[in-house]
């Protein structure tokens, strides 16, 4: 088995700490290590470092090398620019097919998720490896413990064996009432964005379900054959559709399997999500600096300065050298909109 870690995002929901020149996956917001380093460490007891690959955008290559100095240079797969997960995975599968047998299984996972129970995670890879060897596209569904509206869902259908199911359908992020129904039914799982398949299986899936992407891959392969792996593929790659692999492949494919898992997974998708998984003081505050609080509870504060809170509740405060974010926790998803407004105003120094 080999591993492909997707590390090309900009983490706009973690602004102002996450920036284009130092995005979320390179932040050490969960431990002394960056999220990317934690993801690699999680894999290395099962997969050799030489078989772990990082796919990232051209502008993040040096950061990747800085955080993973022992990773072979050829194990960094470079997108000319960040796209969505379908073209990212397609390009990576083509790259890996040049060095590995077509039957090699590849685990695909984001660089910026939290998994608490490492052993359960590794055991789920063993289960997935077996079923993926039978030409199935395998995904890992997180057993839900509350009616989340921020995740897509996977509906499990017919049981295969040992807590494995054929996928009946994928569902987009639901409203609260629908999420409650999913939870009650018991056969719906959060879409983790983690996949396992053979190199040949996923390339055939692109050929069958996204023929435009597959045609562009053939052009890229021609470029690589003629000019080497460092050939400029920018003009070809920009023609790729900006589709997630869930919509482009998984929703259309026939041989889809979901493995329900429960190992303390969290996509750490917002400041609110980070608050929820962080250790809290007796007033349910998460404050990482010297502080005094009066009548304040359930807040998240990140700052290098001394902070005093008086009568503040359910608030996120994040300060950097050039920006200050203050938002109610329930509005934390809208931080992404602030980044979009900064882009429209061309305030590039703040992005």
pLDDT tens string 209-258? 999 999 999 999 999 999 999 999 999 999 999 999 999 999 999 999 99
DSSP secondary-structure letter at 172? P
Contact of 67 with 34, CB cutoff 8 Å: yes
- Say what the pLDDT of residue 54 is: 98
Distances (CA, A) of 57 to 6, 21, 247, 258: 10, 11, 22, 29
- Asked if pLDDT for residue 336 goes beyond 80, the answer is yes
Q: Model confidence at 10, in pLDDT bands (50, 70, 90)?
A: confident
Q: Model confidence at 195, in pLDDT bands (50, 70, 90)?
A: very high
Can you name the residues that pair with 5 across neighbouring β-strands?
54, 109
Residue-wise pLDDT for 264-289, tens only, equals: 999 998 999 999 999 999 999 999 99
Residue-wise pLDDT for 102-140, tens only, equals: 999 999 999 999 999 999 999 999 999 999 999 999 999
- Say what the pLDDT of residue 98 is: 96
Q: Model confidence at 11, in pLDDT bands (50, 70, 90)?
A: confident
3 state DSSP class of 274: helix
Can you name the residues that pair with 258 across neighbouring β-strands?
139, 165
- Say what the pLDDT of residue 80 is: 94
Contact of 213 with 241, CB cutoff 8 Å: yes
CB count within 10 Å of CB 260 equals: 19
Q: Residue 122's closest CA among 1, 219, 32, 209?
A: 1
- Asked if pLDDT for residue 8 goes beyond 90, the answer is no
- Say what the pLDDT of residue 298 is: 98
3 state DSSP class of 75: helix
> How far is 189 from 126, CA to CA, in rounded Å?
20
* Element containing residue 291 per DSSP (H, E): strand 291-294
Residue-wise pLDDT for 155-178, tens only, equals: 999 999 878 999 999 999 999 999
Q: What is the pTM of this model?
A: 0.93
Mean pLDDT of 324-337: 95
- The helix/strand count (H/E) of the chain reads as 11, 17
CB count within 10 Å of CB 147 equals: 17
Q: Is 331 exposed, middle or buried (0-12, 13-18, 19+ CB in 10 A)?
A: middle
Distances (CA, A) of 240 to 81, 83, 166, 170, 203: 11, 8, 29, 23, 15
Q: Model confidence at 82, in pLDDT bands (50, 70, 90)?
A: confident
**Mean pLDDT, rounded, of the chain:** 95
What's phi and psi for 256, nearest 5 deg? -120, 135
Proportion of the chain above pLDDT 70, given as a percent? 100
What's phi and psi for 299, nearest 5 deg? -110, 155
Domains and CATH numbers, the chain: 2-266 (3.90.550.10), 271-350 (no CATH)
């Amino acid at each position: 088995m080999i591993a492909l870690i997707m590390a090309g995002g900009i983490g706009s929901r973690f602004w102002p700490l996450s920036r284009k020149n130092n995005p979320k996956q390179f932040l050490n917001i969960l431990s002394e290590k960056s999220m990317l380093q934690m993801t690699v460490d999680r894999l290395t007891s099962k997969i050799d470092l030489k078989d772990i690959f990082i796919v990232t955008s051209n502008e993040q290559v040096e950061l990747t090398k800085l955080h993973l100095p022992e990773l072979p240079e050829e194990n960094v797969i470079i997108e000319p620019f960040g796209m969505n997960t379908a073209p990212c995975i397609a390009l990576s599968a083509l790259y890996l097919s040049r060095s590995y047998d077509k039957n090699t299984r590849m685990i695909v996972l984001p660089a910026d998720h939290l998994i608490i129970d490492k052993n359960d995670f590794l055991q789920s890879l063993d289960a997935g490896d077996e079923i993926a060897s039978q030409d199935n596209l395998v995904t890992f569904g997180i057993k839900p413990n509350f009616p989340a509206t921020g995740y897509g869902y996977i509906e499990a259908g017919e049981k295969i064996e040992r807590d494995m199911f054929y996928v009946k359908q994928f569902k987009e992020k639901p409203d609260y009432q629908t999420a409650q129904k999913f939870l009650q039914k018991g056969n719906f799982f959060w879409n983790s964005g983690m996949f396992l398949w053979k190199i040949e299986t996923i390339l055939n899936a692109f050929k069958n379900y996204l023929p435009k992407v597959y045609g562009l891959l053939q052009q890229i392969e021609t470029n690589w054959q003629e000019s080497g792996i460092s050939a400029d593929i920018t003009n070809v790659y920009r023609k790729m559709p900006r589709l997630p692999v869930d919509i482009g492949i998984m929703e259309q494919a026939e041989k889809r399997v979901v493995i329900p898992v429960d190992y303390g997974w969290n996509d750490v998708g917002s400041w609110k999500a980070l608050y929820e998984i962080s250790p809290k003081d007796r007033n349910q505050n998460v404050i990482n600096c010297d502080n005094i609080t009066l009548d304040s509870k359930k807040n998240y504060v990140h700052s290098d300065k001394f902070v005093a809170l008086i009568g503040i509740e359910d608030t996120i405060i994040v300060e950097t050298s050039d920006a200050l974010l203050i938002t109610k926790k329930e509005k934390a998803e809208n931080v992404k909109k602030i980044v979009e407004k900064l882009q429209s105003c061309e305030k590039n120094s703040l992005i």
